[in-house]
Structure 1
Amino acid sequence: MPASAPLRGIEASNALARLLVLDKDLRVIVASRSFYRDFKVEPQETIGRHLNELGGGQWDMPSLAVFMERAASADGVVEDYEVEREFPEIGHRVMLVNVRKLEDGEQSGSVLVAIEDITARRATERERDELLHQKDMLLEEMQHRVSNSLQIIASILLMKARAVSSEETRAQLHDAHKRVLAVAAVQKHLHASSGAEPIKLESYLVQLCSSLAGAMIPEGKDAIAMAVHVSGGRVTSSVAVSLGLIITELVINALKHAFPQAKAGNAISVTYDTRGPDWTLTIADNGVGKQMLRVTNDKGGGLGTSIVTALAAQLDARVATETGPSGTRVSVIHGEALKPA
């Protein structure tokens, strides 16, 4: 029987999707040029043949036949059914098969089959997954080496501090030792937060401050209490790094200057509040504020001041300080200032 005009259009098609029209018994009525070309078959061995007989049985897949029969009988549609097959002529192929029942015209009851070759796409996806796996392994190794290096540097600084006779030099080496430990703490908690994924800020800051307290606050009945309050959600790893380093610098600052005498009730609080895109990070203590090293946006100041100011600038934020007899509050403000909860 000569093909109707719509079927002749399918027969002439060179579309990327390889097209077949099957009757209700799954025998080929017409196939597109792209089907013949890409699957290396001829019209005389295709037209009138059952799906399972095509290409010498290359399409004899019971699961596919079940979906075809279901589409031809009742359901009418099969979408993105993935088929993986080894073809003698063209090799391994991964395909998406879409089937739609034809309801109008002479071929009512037949099904239109569109076959998309996604072999290259799947190969690219596998290659991408392998590269991501390799990247994760390299990142893991790099983080391990960085952690070890920081611990070695911290140990060397501590040994040097014990060996020198100058009290001023010893104090400077102890400060450097604490800063290296602070960077190590930030690196440790970012490592535990899975690299490129957004960092859950609450758990990150709680763990970081817990590590800082454990490393820098002596135990005892008069130990300085540290509290963390976070109302934010998730941030990028680069923002988390900057926030973590700011917190460690300001906590070190408070421990060094705010509490010249150990007594019950001494406390440091770390608070992060958000409102839309605006946020405020506040580190506060109830120590002797007038002796506290001031952190401002003015030029000058110690190393801690310079570090905090530079990190705040990276976050497009400003630094504000309130200090007095009841303690000191240093706020890093992005956007409008927010009052701590």
Structure 2
Amino acid sequence: MPVLARSKLLENSVDGRGLAQAIVDTVRDPLLVLDKDLRVVSANRSFYLTFKMSHQDVQNRPLYLLGEGEWNIPELRLLLKNIAPRQAVIEAYEVEREFAGLGRRVMLLNARKIFYLESAHDTILLAIEDITGRRAIEREVNDFLHQKDILLREMRHRVANSLQIIASILLIKARAVRSEETRLHLQDAHKRVMSVAAMQTHLHAAEPGAMIELGPYLTRLCETLANSMIGNRRPVSLTVHVEDATASSSQAVSIGLIVTELVINALKHAFPDDCTGGTVTVTYQLAEPNWRLSVSDNGIGRPEGTLDKLVPGLGTTIVEALARQLDAHVEALMTPLGTTVSVTKGIFVSRLAASTPVRPDPGSCGARDLPGV
């Protein structure tokens, strides 16, 4: 190659390196360029300022001898040695060490091989990010969340205890009053409080903020309702069919309260005292993002057929208010074969085959009161 051409190439190479160094110096995070023996070829301005070193402290020195030996990390040396032959990279390698003049710091390292067209020698670019502050904030957030979880669990525990006390007081008062109407109201209040206590117990067992499995949740709730309202005194069964679905804690509470109101209403009004073979079925179907919750009974029903509105009352008001919170709507189907109340979110098409309600055994739930049935 002519001398003039070699001189021009060298000049361009020097200019290119100067430009590259100027660009690197504008990077805010510390950067090192290392050769294959992990000696420092160059460092940017941020490295010198961050680690309080001079050019003489760094240039041509092995990485593991910089400072007071804080970079002498065998695992890091091995990783960097493997970059060149294997064309590997190091991403998000975390180092927590005592650094001279800085104290204990957490550094995040990223490294990769650099290729040069005009040279057979490759180098390694090592980027260093101080994430000490970020890790400290993360620890504070985790500590805060832990304290919040402790307080939430304590609050749930106290709420559950308070509900048990309220339920006991209502039961005592119901037994003491002489008015039958007042006694029935107190008993209804007792059942509602017990169902809320059952919901709180189930939610308390779940991790704070975790999604609630609706199957076990509604099954446990209905067991509580059955024990308090059916027991061994009435030949009525309460069954639960729930698809594999979850809900947030607030949604689970609303769904549980709706089930409580509808089951209580069915057990109170669908089956006369001499009824046998009565069944109440709670069903939850999912077609994301929509769903349908229904409570059906094979009780006395009504001959009129489909009704758009439930009979006005406290329970109806509660159910409709809870449904609005869930962005759902309430529908009731009342026939001589029983009643089905559905709470539906969105446009829902059931995947279950339509079934004909089974009338309870003779002696039954009011078929005698419905002419033509």
Q: Same fold (TM over 0.5)?
A: yes
After TM superposition, the structure 1 = structure 2 runs for residues 109-128 of structure 1, keeping only pairs within 5 Å, are 109-128=122-141
2:342 equivalent in structure 1: 331
- Judge conservation of contact 2:29–2:128 (CA < 8 Å) in 1: yes
1:36 equivalent in structure 2: 48
- Structure 1 residue 262: deviation in Å? 5.2
- Structure 1 residue 131: deviation in Å? 1.0
Are positions 1:240 and 2:252 aligned together?
yes
- Judge conservation of contact 1:21–1:110 (CA < 8 Å) in 2: yes
Q: Deviations over 1:296-321 (max 9, x none)?
A: 646x7221111112111222222222
Instruction: Check 1:339–1:101 CA distance in 2 against 1; reply closer, same or farther (3 A cut).
Output: closer
Are positions 1:153 and 2:166 aligned together?
yes
Are positions 1:143 and 2:190 aligned together?
no
2:8 equivalent in structure 1: none
Instruction: Check 1:29–1:337 CA distance in 2 against 1; reply closer, same or farther (3 A cut).
Output: closer
1:282 equivalent in structure 2: 294
- Structure 1 residue 243: deviation in Å? 1.0
Q: Deviations over 1:246-272 (max 9, x none)?
A: 000111111111222255422110011
2:355 equivalent in structure 1: none
1:265 equivalent in structure 2: 277
DSSP 3-state at the match of 2:106: strand
195-204 or 265-274, which moves further after superposition? 195-204
- Judge conservation of contact 1:10–1:19 (CA < 8 Å) in 2: no
Are positions 1:253 and 2:258 aligned together?
no
1:93 equivalent in structure 2: 105
After TM superposition, the structure 1 = structure 2 runs for residues 79-228 of structure 1, keeping only pairs within 5 Å, are 79-104=91-116, 105-106=118-119, 108-219=121-232, 223-228=235-240
Matched to 2:322, the amino acid is: L
281-290 or 137-146, which moves further after superposition? 281-290
Which whole-Å CA distance do the structure 1 matches of 2:65 and 2:14 have between them?
Answer: 21
Instruction: Check 1:86–1:329 CA distance in 2 against 1; reply closer, same or farther (3 A cut).
Output: same
Which whole-Å CA distance do the structure 2 matches of 1:199 and 1:274 have between them?
Answer: 15
Aligned length: 336
- Structure 1 residue 3: deviation in Å? 7.0
- Judge conservation of contact 2:191–2:225 (CA < 8 Å) in 1: no
- Judge conservation of contact 1:227–1:270 (CA < 8 Å) in 2: yes
Instruction: Check 1:10–1:125 CA distance in 2 against 1; reply closer, same or farther (3 A cut).
Output: farther
- Judge conservation of contact 2:36–2:122 (CA < 8 Å) in 1: yes
Matched to 2:172, the amino acid is: M
- Judge conservation of contact 2:194–2:224 (CA < 8 Å) in 1: no
Task: Decide which structure has the larger Cα Rg and report it.
Answer: 2
Q: Once superposed, which parts of structure 1, at least 4 consecutive aligned residues long, lie more than 4 Å away?
A: none
- Structure 1 residue 194: deviation in Å? 2.5
Instruction: Check 1:296–1:247 CA distance in 2 against 1; reply closer, same or farther (3 A cut).
Output: farther
Q: How high is the TM-score relative to the length of structure 2?
A: 0.83
- Structure 1 residue 111: deviation in Å? 1.1
Are positions 1:302 and 2:313 aligned together?
yes
DSSP 3-state at the match of 2:90: strand
- Judge conservation of contact 1:27–1:48 (CA < 8 Å) in 2: yes
Matched to 2:97, the amino acid is: R
Specify every segment of 5 or more residues in structure 1 that has no aligned partner in the other structure, as ranges: none
Matched to 1:305, the amino acid is: T
Percent of aligned positions that are identical: 51
Which whole-Å CA distance do the structure 2 matches of 1:102 and 1:325 have between them?
Answer: 82
49-58 or 138-147, which moves further after superposition? 49-58
Q: Deviations over 1:16-52 (max 9, x none)?
A: 3211111111111100100010111111111011111
Instruction: Check 1:43–1:115 CA distance in 2 against 1; reply closer, same or farther (3 A cut).
Output: same
Which whole-Å CA distance do the structure 2 matches of 1:283 and 1:6 have between them?
Answer: 77
Q: How high is the TM-score relative to the length of structure 1?
A: 0.90
Instruction: Check 1:269–1:102 CA distance in 2 against 1; reply closer, same or farther (3 A cut).
Output: same
